[in-house]
Amino acid sequence: MNFKIHNLNKAFDNRVRLGIMSALMVNDSMDFNTMKDLLDLTDGNLASHITALEKEGYVHVKKEFVGKKPLTSYSATKIGVKAFNEHLDALEKLLKNR
Amino acid sequence: MNFKIHNLNKAFDNRVRLGIMSALMVNDSMDFNTMKDLLDLTDGNLASHITALEKEGYVHVKKEFVGKKPLTSYSATKIGVKAFNEHLDALEKLLKNR
DNA sequence: AAAAGGACTTTGAAATACAAAGTTAAGTAT
DNA sequence: ATACTTAACTTTGTATTTCAAAGTCCTTTT
């Protein structure tokens, strides 16, 4: 029996941050508005959850100009991918008996 | 692409409640102190998360005397099992691309 | 000049989480 | 009888989290 709930990563216990990380596991990079629409979030909500993940070093933020418009894109960092996979491992172990 | 994070059940976005439900999926029933030790929680913390799940109708609380001591046991209700499985389905869909 | 797009930041209110302490009720030991 | 323990909470108080809404700033399009 494995019930080590404390192996779950606090950074990923929120649905929005789960969604962001999932999106960034599948997509090398995703821009602000695509992510916002995909997860159905308000601007502020997305921005703040990204900031949280960025502070942990899990997400990299890239700002550039495309044509004449600013474009902010996000990608998962190496340690972000690692941390997320570890979180999913812990989750799986917890839930494997379904 | 499926990124419907709003299909995740709010009742299960907390690690303690995830742990409680996981334990109750594997075990038909589990008593207070076993659960408390298993998940490494304080009395009050366990009690309050159980109350939250009970309010949702996901957990059934049974109080009895065994020998001369009171014993509180928990089990997942039918709708608790259903809700939890639906939550896990939503999670799986979200994460299937790992 | 005004409106709109992009990407935030700030604000503020509400909900959540949790440890610690207090409570109740019934044993058990002295 | 008195004190202590076990079981299972409830209460208290603080801290953290969450989120929508509004405000900001910069640039571009109309």
Instruction: Give tens-digit pLDDT for B9-39.
Output: 999 999 999 999 999 999 999 999 999 999 9
Average pLDDT, chain B: 94
- In 3D, which of A50, A41, A53, A49 has the Cα closest to residue A81? A53
Contact (CB<8Å) B38/A3: yes
Residues listed for chain A = 98
The CA–CA distances, whole Å, from A17 to A13, B9, B49 equal 8, 15, 22
Would the Cβ of B51 be found within 7 angstroms of any atom in strand C?
A: no
Instruction: State the smallest CA–CA distance between residue A22 and chain B in angstroms.
Output: 6
Q: In this structure, are residues B37 and B18 in contact, taking their beta carbons and an 8 Å threshold?
A: no
Fold of B5-95: Arc Repressor Mutant, subunit A (1.10.10)
What is the CATH class of A8-93?
Answer: mainly alpha
Q: Which of A13, A91, A95 sits opposite B14 (nearest CB)?
A: A13
Q: Which residue is nearest to nucleotide C5 (CA to C1')?
A: A69
- The answer to whether residue A96 neighbours chain B at the CB level (below 8 Å) is no
The one-letter amino acid at B98: R
Interval A3-58: pLDDT, tens: 899 999 999 999 999 999 999 999 999 999 999 999 999 999 999 999 999 999 99
Residue predicted with more confidence, A68 or A12: A12
Would the Cβ of B63 be found within 7 angstroms of any atom in strand C?
A: no
Residue holding tokens 């509180």? B72
Has residue B98 got a pLDDT over 70? no
Has residue B97 got a pLDDT over 70? no
Looking at residue B27, what is its pLDDT?
96
Q: A59-66 and A69-76 as β-strands: parallel, antiparallel, unpaired?
A: antiparallel
Please name the residue of chain B whose CA is at the shortest distance from the CA of residue A21: B95
